[in-house]
Amino acid sequence: MASRLISGRHTAALLASLGVGTVATGFLLSDSGPLAADSKRKLYPPSADFPDLRKHNNCMASALTPAIYATLRDKLTPNNWTLDQCIQTGVDNPGHPFIKTVGCVAGDEESYQVFAELFDPVIKDRHNGYDPRTMTHPTDLDATKLTHGMFDENYVLSSRVRTGRSIRGLSLPPACSRAERREVERVVVMALAGLEGDLAGRYYSLGEMTEREQQQLIDDHFLFDKPVSPLLTSAFMARDWPDARGIWHNNEKTFLIWVNEEDHTRVISMEKGGNMKRVFERFCRGLKQVEHLIQERGWEFMWNEHLGYILTCPSNLGTGLRAGVHVRLPKLSKDPRFSKILDNLRLQKRGTGGVDTAATGDTFDISNNDRLGKSEVELVQLVVDGVNYLIECEKRLEKGQDIKIPPPVAQFRK
């Protein structure tokens, strides 16, 4: 009883210092105990809680108005995820004046419905006009439709396709409990054990692997580290690290799945050289088999017709797909038209170390810019056609011939 009184006095003093009246304080500190979190929030109008976004450059800050915040602040998803949790990463990380980040994450599948007044304009901004309220997203994993998928290996050093998948009914990494994260691991690892033939492999738990296994994964460039980027840590991604995180790969080391990193799963097909057709075929076949094995155990992936596959960050909705190559372009990369050519082909360049890294010498990681509004086949074909065009430009420049900026590629069918 004494400890309860002391607790009550501390809370009462706090409330009094905040200007809450005696009657209200007495009511809120009734026999029901200390003030509940949602009641505390409702003590103040949404206008008093609205974040200061005046210096921010991200999609969330562009979309979030005081009116939208007032409408959504006190709403909860079925898993008790709030708007403020969605936007915390964008509040804490204003972004760069020349690089517009997304600025929000989903805590569960329902976030995209409950907080649609924020997420819909963010999605429209990030995905160049795709309207999730009126448009539908196509899904197509038929690798036989891909044409001209063999690159000139004098230029292309490696080929890769990756995506993410989320298990329906379990919270996403920003919001999941330890139990949910462990359940994701259990469901995924059990399903992967059923893969056969060239897809058969084994799982390595980050918390249980030996030093030798860890070193081998580092040497293979497979190992992912604890998130240190403020964009991820402010989105609650690094909690309980490395609990229930791990890496699965097939015996040939060409099909790889990360478990409980930024998404429930990241699925990667890759190999040295320029055979994108074979990489994509393995990607599609592996994804279909994993989905089938998960469904056999009574689970399914998050998906809907407007947003496609549901992932943590709105930037990865739709296909979640990034098809990329490491390609040598020593002459084209020095041409002032290079950036415009990439823009018109709907391609982006990165350093070979991944996002936010500079190019090493004349080798670039070239990949698709879009995720939502086009199917998997369409996006990989876009990369194939675009990279072949870049290689053709490089060859023309080697011969002293001129190159042309191609006409813009349509982003998606409206």
Residue 145 token pair:
């439709």
Print burial letters for 255-271: b (CB count within 10 Å at least 16), e (below 16).
bbbbbbbbbbbbbbbbb
Q: What is the pLDDT of residues 264-289, one digit of tens each?
A: 999 999 999 999 999 999 999 999 99
Written as one letter, the residue type at 24 is A
Q: What is the pLDDT of residue 21?
A: 46
Q: How confident is the model at residue 259 (pLDDT cuts 50, 70, 90)?
A: very high
Residue 117 token pair:
């007044």
Which strands make up the sheet holding 255-259, listed edge to edge?
201-205, 246-250, 255-259, 265-272, 156-165, 322-328, 363-368, 347-350
Q: What is the pLDDT of residue 97?
A: 76
Q: Does the pLDDT at position 155 exceed 70? A: yes
Q: What is the pLDDT of residue 27?
A: 42
| pLDDT-above-90 percentage for the chain | 76
Distances (CA, A) of 303 to 41, 169, 190, 311: 33, 12, 21, 9
The more confidently predicted of residues 341 and 37 is 341
Asked which of 15-29, 100-114, 263-277 is least confident by mean pLDDT, the reply is 15-29
Name the residue among 13, 195, 180 with its Cα closest to residue 80: 180
Q: What is the pLDDT of residue 358?
A: 53
**pLDDT mean over 125-138:** 95
Bond from prior residue into 242 cis (ω within 30 degrees of 0): yes
Cβ atoms within 10 A of the Cβ of 91, count? 19
Q: What is the pLDDT of residues 186-205, one digit of tens each?
A: 999 999 999 999 999 999 99
Q: How confident is the model at residue 220 (pLDDT cuts 50, 70, 90)?
A: confident
Name the residue among 238, 247, 200, 242 with its Cα closest to residue 220: 247
Residue whose token pair is 């930037």: 315
Q: What is the pLDDT of residue 15?
A: 42
In angstroms, rounded to a whole number, what is the distance separating the alpha carbons of residues 254 and 200? 11
C-alpha 164: how far from chain center: 7
Rounded to the nearest 5°, which phi and psi values hold at 351? -70, 160
Name the residue among 123, 116, 62 with its Cα closest to residue 318: 123
Q: Are 85 and 53 in contact (CB under 8 A)?
A: no
Q: Does the pLDDT at position 95 exceed 50? A: yes
| pLDDT-above-70 percentage for the chain | 87
Distances (CA, A) of 397 to 178, 253, 333, 340, 394: 55, 36, 11, 16, 5
In angstroms, rounded to a whole number, what is the distance separating the alpha carbons of residues 347 and 333? 14
pTM of the model: 0.86
Helices 83-92/116-126 angle, 10° precision: 40
Q: Are 96 and 50 in contact (CB under 8 A)?
A: no
Q: List alpha helices for 305-375, DSSP H.
A: 338-344
Q: Are 257 and 192 in contact (CB under 8 A)?
A: yes
Residue whose token pair is 């210096």: 55
Residue 192 token pair:
């992967």
Asked which of 13-17, 86-90, 181-185 is least confident by mean pLDDT, the reply is 13-17
Mean pLDDT over each residue of the chain, to the nearest integer: 89
Q: What residues does 303 pair with on adjacent strands?
A: 309
In angstroms, rounded to a whole number, what is the distance separating the alpha carbons of residues 96 and 102? 11
Q: How confident is the model at residue 215 (pLDDT cuts 50, 70, 90)?
A: confident
Q: How confident is the model at residue 214 (pLDDT cuts 50, 70, 90)?
A: confident
Residue 195 token pair:
């893969």
Q: What is the pLDDT of residue 412?
A: 61
Q: How confident is the model at residue 24 (pLDDT cuts 50, 70, 90)?
A: very low
**pLDDT mean over 389-410:** 95
Rounded to the nearest 5°, which phi and psi values hold at 377? -60, -45
Residue whose token pair is 């372009």: 329
User: What DSSP character marks residue 97?
Assistant: T
Q: Does the pLDDT at position 63 exceed 60? A: yes
